[in-house]
Amino acid sequence: MPLPALTLSLQFARFHDVALHRAALPRSQVTRWLRHALDADAELTVRIVDADEGQALNRDYRGKDYATNVLTFDYATEPVVMADLVLCAPVVAREAAEQGKTLRQHYAHLLVHGALHAQGWDHETSDADAEAMEAREIDILTRLGFPNPYAT
């Protein structure tokens, strides 16, 4: 079965070490990771932001006044998945270092995570939903050649 089609807009805000994050996110790899996480054709915008923009978006749209690793703004799931995925570069970099992962590994995980949210997956609704979403992420990332992101 062929992978779903993806129209991707990959955007980088201007911030101190943006070159490091651009290097970890080649467009071809981002496209590959996302297509493996999709069950339907999609139109996605991926935006990499600094802490100020990440915090403002999380505060304004989720009522949580801190920068988080990934925000998913989903607009449609059918017939085409339409969503914006916003990743906060400093948070992603800090978490990758804390978890002993490469920046590339952590971005791949968070992009898969965000793409699943865009399709209606939710880990905050119940333990069973969280376990199902985690298992799906592990399966996708394993097929992409990445280790289990939840292994300690």
Which residues define the annotated binding site for Zn(2+)? 113, 117, 123
Sign of the Cα pseudo-torsion (55, 58, 59, 60, in order): positive
Integer Cα distance of 50 and 141 in angstroms? 26
User: In a 3-state reduction of DSSP, which class is residue 142?
Assistant: helix
Query: Of all helices (H) and strands (E), which one includes residue 90?
Result: helix 89-99
Annotated binding site: 113, 117, 123
Integer Cα distance of 67 and 52 in angstroms? 7
Closest-CA residue to 86 (of 124, 63, 65, 117): 117
Residue partners of 116: CB distance under 8 A and separation at least 6 = 37, 133, 136, 137
